[in-house]
Amino acid sequence: MLLKTLKGRHSVLLILVPIIIVSLWMGAFLHPESLTAGQDQMPLYELLRFLTAGNDFILNLIACLLLVLMAYGMVRLNEQYIFIRQRTDLPAFVFAFIATGTIALGGMHPSLFAAFVLFLSVDRVFKIYQGTATLSNSFDVGFLIGLASLFYLFAGVYILWFLMTLAVFGYFRSKEILAGLMGFIVPIFLMFAWCFWNENLPEFLHTISKLFSFHNHLGAVSVFQYSYWGILGFLVVLSSLYMLNVYEEKKISSRKYFIVLLTFFLVSALSFLFFKGAGVEQYFISIIPVTYITSHYFVLQKHSWIGEVLFYILVISSILIRFIG
C-alpha cells in the first residue's frame, strides 16, 4: 500500500522527492514564464533577478531547489521536535505533491523565497519553547521575518504570528518581544539605509506603495483547480478535527506546536482576505503548516483503509491537475 510504504523510514525513498517535484514541475522548465511580469518587486527579489539576468529557467531551477530543501526540512523538523509522534518521511512526500498542485504557481515567485525563509523561522520559534537562548532565538525569528518581507512584502505580517507564538509558549515578555521586534527592524532598516545612500529611497517607497495597492486576483481558474483546492481544504479540515479529537492525548509540547502551526495557517488565510495585493501566491506559505497537519492525520489515524483512499486521492489529483488543470 502506498501510504504504508511512504510513512515508513526508507532512506532510498527520499531520492524520489526531487524526482516527484521535478516531474510535476516539468512545464515550468519546458515553458518558463515569469510569474511577476510587469510588476515591481521587493529589493531582494529584484537582486535575485539581477544576479540571474532575469533568466526564468534559472529562476525556476532555484525555485525547484527551494522546494526540495523545504521537503527534506519538513522531515528534519519533525525528527527534532516530534510534532508527529513517529519518525516518518511522509511530510516530504505530502509537501512534494501539494507544493506543485497550483498551476498558476509553476515557477519562481517572491513568495516562494519568503516561504523558505519563514520555514527557517519555524525552527527558531520551536527552540524558544525549549527555553534555551530565548532572546537570541526571538531576534533570529524577527530577523528572518524581516528578511522574508524584503523578498515578498506581505511576509512582514508574520511578525504578528511570532507575537502570538510567544503568548502560546508563555514567553510573552518584554525581553523576547523587544528582541523579536529589533530583529525584524534590522534588515528593513539596513535596506532603507542602503536605498537612502544610493538615492533611490523614493523608488523603494513607491514599490511598496504599488505592491500594497495592486489588486491581485485569481484570474481564470479552472473547475479542476478549484476541485483540487477543495480536496486540500477537506483534508485540512478533517486533519484538524482529528488533531482536536486526540489533542488531550498529546504531550504539552505537541499541543503547543499544533497551535503555532494552525496560527501560521490562519495568518496566511487572513493575509489573503485583508490585503488585496496578496494573492494565490500565499499558497506557497500556507502549505508549510498544511503539510504537517495532514501528515499527522495520515500517519496516526486508526482506520488504515480510509487513510490509504484519501492519500491516493491526494496523489492522483496532484498528478492529474498538471495535465487537466
Nearest 5°: CA angle at 15, between 115 and 294? Answer: 50
Q: Which of 230, 298, 280 is nearest to 93 (CA)?
A: 298
Cell readout for 63 is 525555485
Q: What is the pLDDT of residue 32?
A: 86
**CB 299 within 8 Å of CB 84:** yes
For residues 224, 228, 230, 236, the Cα torsion angle rounded to the nearest 10 degrees is 180
Handedness of CA 186, 208, 69, 47 (dihedral sign): negative
For residue 253, give the amino acid letter: S
**CB 42 within 8 Å of CB 153:** yes
For residue 227, give the amino acid letter: S
Residue-by-residue pLDDT tens, the chain, 325 positions: 788 778 777 776 778 899 999 999 988 888 888 888 778 889 999 999 999 998 999 999 999 999 999 999 999 998 888 788 778 889 999 999 999 888 788 889 999 999 999 999 999 999 998 887 899 999 999 999 999 999 999 999 999 999 999 999 999 999 999 999 999 999 999 999 999 998 889 898 988 888 887 766 656 778 888 899 999 999 999 998 888 887 776 777 788 888 999 999 999 888 888 887 777 888 899 999 999 999 999 988 877 788 899 999 999 999 998 878 6
For residue 157, give the amino acid letter: V
Q: Which residues contact 66 (CB under 8 A, 6 or more apart)?
A: 112, 113, 115, 116
Q: Which residues contact 183 (CB under 8 A, 6 or more apart)?
A: 138, 139, 140, 141, 142, 143, 144, 145, 146
